[in-house]
Amino acid sequence: MLISFPSMNEVTVPHARGGEKELFRKHVDTGDNQIMLGRLEPGATIGPHTHENDSETVYILSGTGRMLYDGRYEPLAAGVCHHCPKGHSHSLENTGTEDLTFFAVIPKQ
């Protein structure tokens, strides 16, 4: 299955998961997985949430930020991958001066 993010429209999600500002995303639900290309402007966040029925893997493409994972901060930069297993919680914050772009996969479990 080919997913062409460049040909997709970017959707604006205000206050994603109760976070600050907006999440900009291109998203596909394949039935087995949710696959997303996301972007947070400086100061934007995705609010804290628990993955009760799934997990999430986030790969940072550009920018800098931090992930609050089970109460501890993890620094993020291009090339870093974060995994949030089922039953754990996290939130994402752009702490840099440029957009934080990332690729995420949420498999249905």
Domains in the chain: boundaries = 10-107
Over the stretch 18-73, which tens digit does the pLDDT of each residue have? 999 999 999 999 999 999 999 999 999 999 999 999 999 999 999 999 999 999 99
Q: At residue 109, does pLDDT exceed 90?
A: no
Q: Which of 81, 91, 95 is nearest to 41 (CA)?
A: 95
Q: How confident is the model at residue 108 (pLDDT cuts 50, 70, 90)?
A: confident
Describe the strand order of the beta sheet including 64-69 as a list of residue ranges: 45-50, 89-94, 64-69, 72-77
Q: Is the dihedral of CA 14, 98, 39, 48 positive or negative?
A: negative
pLDDT confidence of residue 105: 98
Quickly name the fold that domain 10-107 has. Jelly Rolls (2.60.120)
